[in-house]
C-alpha cells in the first residue's frame, strides 16, 4: 500500500507573505502619521505652500478692513510703560519781612509715584489701517500719559520746620504733593516715556497681527 506524502513547503511561503503584508501596512500607517503631522504644523512660508499642494487646501484669512480694525480697537487703552520714581520735594511759606525761624513754614516730602503711558487704540480709524493680501500696515494714534499717581503708603513727610510766630499751614502738604505729581510726570516725559510707549505698543500689536495670520506687519 502506498502512503500519501505530506509536504511543508507552503507554510514558509505563507509566513513570508504575511510578513511582507504587515511591513507594508506598517509603512503606510507611519507615512500617514508623518504626513498628518507635517500638514498640521506647516503653517508658515514655503512649508505652508507645500502642504497646500499636497492637501489641496488654501489659506483662509479674515482680513476684511472692518474686522481687523475692530480687533485692534478691542485692545482699547494699551498700557505699555510704567515709570516709577522716588524723590524728595520741598515746599515752604516765607515772610518778606521776618526770617524763617520766626515766620517760615518748610516741609520736605519723600514721595514715591508712578506714571503709566500707552496708546488708546479706540482712537484708531479705518484710514489708519491698510491691508494688502497677507501684508498689513497700521498707523498708531499718538502715545499719551494715562495716569500719574503718588503711592500714599510710601509717601511721607520727612521733616517740617515752622516759625515761632506762625502755625503750620494745613494746605502746604497738599500743595507739595500736587507739585511732586507734576514733577514726576515731567521727569517721565523727559526720560522718553512716550517714545517707549509707542515702541512697546508696536511690538505688542505686531505679535497680535502675526497671530491672526498676517505674514508681514508694518506698524508706524
72-96 pLDDT, tens digit per residue, is: 877 778 888 999 989 888 888 888 8
pLDDT for the residue 194? 95
pLDDT for the residue 7? 47
3-state secondary structure of 93: strand
- Assess contact for 188 and 196: CB atoms under 8 A: no
Q: H or E stretch including 181?
A: helix 172-190
Pairing state between β 135-138 and 216-219? parallel
Beta bridge partners of 89: 109
Torsion of CA 91, 95, 101, 102, to 10 degrees: -140
pLDDT for the residue 53? 58
pLDDT for the residue 8? 47
Regions of the chain where pLDDT drops below 50: 2, 5-9, 39, 43-45, 47, 58-61
User: How far is the C-alpha of 182 from the C-alpha of 134, rounded, in Å?
Assistant: 45
Burial of 58 (0-12, 13-18, 19+ CB in 10 A): exposed
pLDDT for 185-217, tens place per residue? 999 999 999 999 999 999 999 998 998 888 999
User: How far is the C-alpha of 219 from the C-alpha of 196, rounded, in Å?
Assistant: 14
pLDDT for the residue 58? 44
Residue linked to cell 503653517: 43
User: How far is the C-alpha of 3 from the C-alpha of 23, rounded, in Å?
Assistant: 40
Per-residue DSSP letter, 60: -
What are the cell numbers at 131?
491691508
Amino acid at each position: 500500500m502506498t502512503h500519501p506524502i505530506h509536504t511543508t513547503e507552503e507554510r514558509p511561503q505563507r509566513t513570508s507573505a504575511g510578513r511582507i503584508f504587515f511591513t507594508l501596512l506598517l509603512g503606510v500607517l507611519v507615512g500617514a502619521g508623518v504626513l498628518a503631522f507635517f500638514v498640521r504644523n506647516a503653517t508658515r512660508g514655503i512649508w505652508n505652500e507645500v502642504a497646500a499642494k499636497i492637501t489641496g487646501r488654501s489659506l483662509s484669512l479674515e482680513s476684511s478692513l472692518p474686522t481687523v480694525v475692530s480687533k485692534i480697537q478691542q485692545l482699547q487703552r494699551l498700557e505699555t510703560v510704567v515709570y516709577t520714581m522716588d524723590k524728595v520735594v520741598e515746599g515752604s511759606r516765607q515772610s518778606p519781612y521776618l526770617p524763617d525761624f520766626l515766620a517760615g513754614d518748610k516741609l520736605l516730602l519723600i514721595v514715591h509715584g508712578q506714571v503709566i503711558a500707552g496708546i488708546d487704540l479706540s482712537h484708531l480709524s479705518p484710514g489708519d489701517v491698510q491691508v494688502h493680501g497677507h501684508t498689513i500696515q497700521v498707523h498708531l494714534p499718538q502715545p499719551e500719559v494715562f495716569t500719574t499717581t503718588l503711592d500714599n503708603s510710601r509717601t511721607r513727610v520727612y521733616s517740617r520746620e515752622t516759625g515761632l510766630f506762625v502755625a503750620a499751614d494745613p494746605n502746604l502738604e497738599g500743595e507739595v504733593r500736587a507739585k511732586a505729581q507734576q514733577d514726576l510726570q515731567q521727569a517721565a516725559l523727559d526720560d522718553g516715556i512716550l517714545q517707549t510707549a509707542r515702541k512697546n505698543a508696536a511690538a505688542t500689536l505686531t505679535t497680535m497681527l502675526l497671530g491672526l495670520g498676517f505674514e508681514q506687519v508694518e506698524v508706524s
